[in-house]
Amino acid sequence: MAYPTFTCAYEKDHNPPLDVEAERWFQQARGLEKVRGIKDWQTIVGLYEKAIAKDHWKAMHNLAGLYRTGWPGQPGVEQDTSKMLDLYERMVKLKVPLGYYDWAVVAEHGRGIMKSDRMASSYIFQAAQLGNPLAQVRIGNYFAFQLPRDKQDARMAEPYFRCAGAQDSPDAIIETAAFYKISKENMPLALFYYQRAASLGSSSGLNNLKGAFEPTPRPIYNFGYQPNSKLHELYAGLLKQLNADQKLRFPNLMKDHPLPPHPKQGFDAEHPDRRPEI
């Protein structure tokens, strides 16, 4: 389908506010989900349902995910496509950006409804317009990589990636980094986004940073930087910490360890002397 002109929007500006009590129930449910071993699914579902009664859209998304796959237990969560669809529909009625993205995925794969690429594209674009970063990178990837090679358009893709890359979704930021590395061949900007993802707790971001400065660079991580043992050890150490505790974040990483200029492209292939804004 033909997409209208894209205007950057951030998801946080469109998400409905969350009730304080409902948020407390939601966090309790999340804590119980993270417990190793046997999980108390009955209590988890009950907490999500209490939060949902107060229109807590994050609880809707999480509970719908449980119904999508089902989870074993005594008792577990029974797979229920109808309940999943009801929750996604409720998110859309509340105009939650993530709800539009969830519905697009349902339409794309035909989960409980008839498979429809047209419907999926429509909901993906609506999600992107409301600021959902995963929808934004989906459209960016379509323009940059999924069209026939002679029709691929990095110029059309770039605004979607830049908008997604400015938000706090590590997965979307990783996609943005890959776009700048592969499509634009802008290595310093690619590594900038990998560092941004790393600051938010992305192991993929840290792996790319560690690899970029390895004494013997591997082709997959070759960004054209000079080997740097000190930086390699820094990122290897942070990766080790993250592997031991997945909840770790490094909010001062970009400020405390600004990337060196690229030997050929500077701080940005298009603006070699200008650092990207953190």
Residues 113 and 186 in one domain: no
Residues 207 and 271 in one domain: yes
The pLDDT-based confidence of 189 (bands split at 50, 70, 90) is very high
Range of the domain at 69: 11-129
In a domain, 173, yes or no: yes
The CATH number linked to 84 is: 1.25.40.10
In a domain, 163, yes or no: no
Q: How far, in Å, CA of 31 to CA of 14, rounded? A: 26
Which tens digit of pLDDT belongs to each residue from 24-67? 999 999 999 998 888 999 999 999 999 999 999 999 999 999 99
Q: In this predicted structure, what is the pLDDT of residue 14?
A: 97
Residues 238 and 183 in one domain: yes
In a domain, 146, yes or no: no
Of 129, 153, 177, which residue sits at a domain end?
129
Q: Are 205 and 170 in contact (CB under 8 A)?
A: yes
Residues 212 and 263 in one domain: yes
Q: Considering its fold, how many domains does the chain have in total? A: 2
Residue 196 has pLDDT above 80, yes or no: yes
In a domain, 3, yes or no: no
In a domain, 191, yes or no: yes
In a domain, 1, yes or no: no
Residues 173 and 266 in one domain: yes
In a domain, 231, yes or no: yes
Average pLDDT over residues 70-93: 94
Residues 172 and 123 in one domain: no
In a domain, 193, yes or no: yes
Which tens digit of pLDDT belongs to each residue from 138-154? 999 999 999 999 999 99
Residues 86 and 182 in one domain: no
Q: In this predicted structure, what is the pLDDT of residue 3?
A: 59
Of 82, 102, 129, which residue sits at a domain end?
129
Residues 107 and 196 in one domain: no
Residues 125 and 172 in one domain: no
- Distances in whole angstroms, Cα of residue 244 to Cα of each of 198, 201, 231, 241: 15, 12, 20, 5
Of 103, 129, 155, which residue sits at a domain end?
129
